[in-house]
Structure 1
């Protein structure tokens, strides 16, 4: 019996770590996607943001974020108990005791899995503010977002806070991760303003194509792969028949939703624009993945395809609508992660009898309000102290030269 417990503990810990590594690989996906969807003169800066934000997220979550999000106290509360650093690791005695209260994976594996989630939320912000934000202003915001803003709302659901007590369901983070990241991005975009030349004086919308669609496509496939760890790891266990079957169902549903999103986004774009739009297909895949993240276990594979398909239509319509409102989001992050994140949360009651529409609406309103307002305050403070935007001249030359002093493709520069 002791050997069975130890093997189960080791297997669940290993599975948790592997899923965390897959989610960490999503950082590469975001970097490639964003680098492909911005102009070549802003490539180095967007890559710098992505690797730096990952490092900042991991450090801030280690210093304080993890203990804010999982304080082990104030269950059902709004304000978490603010702690610092990691707690002690599980003891052999606690593991071998068995029972429902015994830990079944290493605490450090839980930290690793959670820290890559907070980095994902911050990556969402990166693309939305691309091509016109100061690098160091963005990184300063990352400190507050990953160390304090994200962990507080994460505690409300996953740390047994008041949203969890009210029955709000969010299996892997359509709200806690994706809506939170999009809400912070929206606050930044509203204060930042649009890129130069994006909108004409008469209200016209000027397309600003990305520089490398093969790279953006590669980034999307990397994110698609990483999402199996994102959703599959959120099951938390795999070392028994019931949980192994659940993980398999989650993988199937996650993939099905992504495919549904691609198909409907491509069709919707064809109907609206008369052409097959690759960028909409890419965002359709991500929209399907975001939509199913709130509940990837209880739907059937066909239902998951339909949930993702609805997300694919929504993301195209949302991108068009935000453009008409002159909200400039170069990569469609607010639409993919925010609008479709809300849809994913609202879709949970369609397959999970434990979910209620009221609880889901409460979660949506709470996460958006907290993250948007707190982010607006932080963004506003940064704008007042050091500014948010690079100058018009720097934007014309490109953020690569202005912020990093190096170009991504120097061999293409005219001699």
Structure 2
């Protein structure tokens, strides 16, 4: 079997694993929120996948990979509507990218595109209107995410720095891009009714922790495709090392988050354990191919501590994030990006400075764009459901259906 076929098969397996992550996100979000909003959360997740892929086909892929000319600044480019596969004598050039086909590349990158909006979905759960969320998703996934991606993965200005900004699998380009938008959305939306009373944070338990646990384990599995596929080949050494560092960082993140939360709060909090695993996964993603196993454990452990501390700080700031998306994706995404300049093969001051610059540029883009989109929606159509709708549940008012109907009511 030739290497093109082997590489292409590995990339397609990774596409399936990343697609499977969307089930993990859905399970995690419904598990950590209340039963009365289950249909609403599932609807948003399905919308993100379907519309995200269509938008990526129409404009996203060619915004993200615009084929910048050598003399271009590398901030914004566009190479046309739809897919434009490379041809040789009128036939598809199957040696595209010297490793796998054009179609495989599109689908792999398209799976990443929807993830940024999924991060926002969890943070705004249980009180954001569906229509403004849909509009936000279309604009953010359709335009902002691919423009952000073009700055690095598309050969843009951050890739052209004397020491190029490095983000192996998207700690900044995917997780922080979603995390910054989640932070702005949470600030503009306000907390759920009852989350903060008399200056104190009130726990609002999720309705199905077993489902949330299943969601995290599915995400962990899917991350083997997320990071493993980012090698962009089936190179045995590179893929094996990447999967080892990914797995060890996840394990360390979960364990250290459990220990840290147990010491601080005198209890064994499973949800903190789960978010620690995710924090470790995000923490290793920017440099999974550059780290040793020991580096990965250290990076994951620090991410586990950061998740616990960040959740506490977010609560103190009276920000309501039902699933911990900001702590996991934004805070650990920033840490992951910085870690590339501290640990592993690329460690050094010049790389660290490039990582800081990348974080700052992406923060500016995402904060400004998400603020403009959400504040405009807030002024024009409103972004928050009414008090009655929030108390009785979005499933009833937005969808007219119960996720768990009581069939006994229909018995004679």
Pairwise TM-score range, normalised by the shorter structure: over 0.9
Report the equivalent of 1:206: 202
In the alignment, structure 1 residue 107 sits paired with structure 2 residue 102 = yes
Distance in 2 (alpha carbons) for counterparts of 1:407 and 1:89: 48
Alignment correspondent of 1:319:
311
Report how far residue 81 of structure 1 moved.
2.9
Q: Structure 1 residue 104: deviation in Å? A: 2.3
Tell me how far 1:74 sits from its aligned partner. Answer: 3.8
- Deviation string, structure 1 residues 21-76 (Cα, Å, up to 9, x no partner): 10010000000000000011111110111011111111111110110000112455
Once the two structures are TM-superposed, the CA of residue 377 in structure 1 deviates from its matched residue by 0.5
Q: Select which of 228, 235, 242 maps to 2:231.
A: 235
Q: Report the Cα distance in structure 2 between the residues aligned to 1:301 and 1:115, rounded to whole angstroms.
A: 29
Partner of 2:401: 406
1:229 Cα deviation after fit: 0.2
Alignment of 1:117-266 (within 5 A): 117-166=112-161, 167-200=164-197, 202-238=198-234, 243-266=235-258
How far the C-alpha of 1:414 sits from its partner, in A, is: 8.8
Could you tell me which runs of 5 or more consecutive residues in structure 2 were left unpaired when the two chains were aligned.
none
Aligned counterpart for 1:303 among listed residues 286, 295, 304: 295
Distance 1:412 1:380, change over 3 A: farther
| Deviation digits for residues 165-216 of structure 1 (CA, Å, limit 9, x no counterpart) | 111000000000000000111111111111111112x311111010000000
* 8 Å CA contact 2:67, 2:79 repeated in 1: no
Q: CA deviation at 1:102?
A: 6.2
**Map of 1:71-110 to 2, 5 A cutoff?**
71-74=66-69, 76-81=73-78, 83-89=80-86, 91=88, 103-110=98-105
**3-state SS of 1:157 partner:** coil
Distance 1:368 1:347 in 2: 17
User: Is the 8 Å Cα contact of residues 8 and 100 (structure 2) preserved in structure 1?
Assistant: yes
Q: State the SS of the aligned residue for 2:360.
A: helix
State the TM-score, normalized to the length of structure 1: 0.93
Which among 6, 10, 16 is matched to residue 21 of structure 1? Answer: 16
**Local SS of the residue matching 1:130:** coil
Q: 1:369 aligns with which of 355, 364, 372?
A: 364
The residue number in structure 2 matching 1:32 is 27
Q: CA deviation at 1:83?
A: 2.7
Cα offsets for 1:227-271 (capped at 9, x unmatched): 000000000011xxxx21110010111000000001100001100
Partner of 1:348: 340
Shift of 1:297: 1.5
SS at 1:182 equivalent:
helix
The answer on whether the counterparts of 1:90 and 1:107 sit within 8 Å (CA) in structure 2 is no
Query: What CA distance in whole angstroms lies between the structure 2 residues aligned with 1:284 and 1:398?
Result: 29
Hey, what's the Cα distance between the residues in 1 that align with 2:30 and 2:336?
27
Mark the CA change 1:389 to 1:113 in structure 2 (over 3 Å): closer, same or farther. Answer: same
Going from structure 1 to structure 2, the CA distance change for 1:102 and 1:313 (only over 3 Å counts) comes to closer
Contact 2:63 2:146 in 1 (8 A): yes
Structure 1 match to 2:3: 8
* CA distance in 2: counterparts of 1:372 and 1:266, whole angstroms: 31
Structure 1's unaligned 5+ residue stretches are none
| Distance (whole Å) between structure 1 residues aligned to residue 19 and residue 97 of structure 2 | 28
Between the aligned partners of 1:372 and 1:118, the Cα distance in structure 2 is 18
Tell which deviates more after alignment, 272-281 or 377-386: 377-386
CA distance in 2, matches of 1:303, 1:396: 46
Aligned residue-pair number? 402
1-structure distance, mates of 2:240, 2:97: 25
**Does the CA contact (< 8 Å) of 1:181 and 1:337 recur in 2?**
yes
Contact 1:89 1:106 in 2 (8 A): no
SS in 2 for 1:302: helix
1:383 deviation in Å?
Answer: 1.4
Deviation at 1:91, TM superposition (A): 4.4
In structure 1, which of residues 267, 284, 301 is the aligned counterpart of residue 259 of structure 2?
267
Q: TM-score by structure 2 length?
A: 0.94
Partner Cα distance (1:180, 1:48) in 2: 22
For 1:148 and 1:367, the matched residues in 2 are separated by 14
Aligned to 2:327: 335
> CA separation in 2, counterparts of 1:290 and 1:28?
18
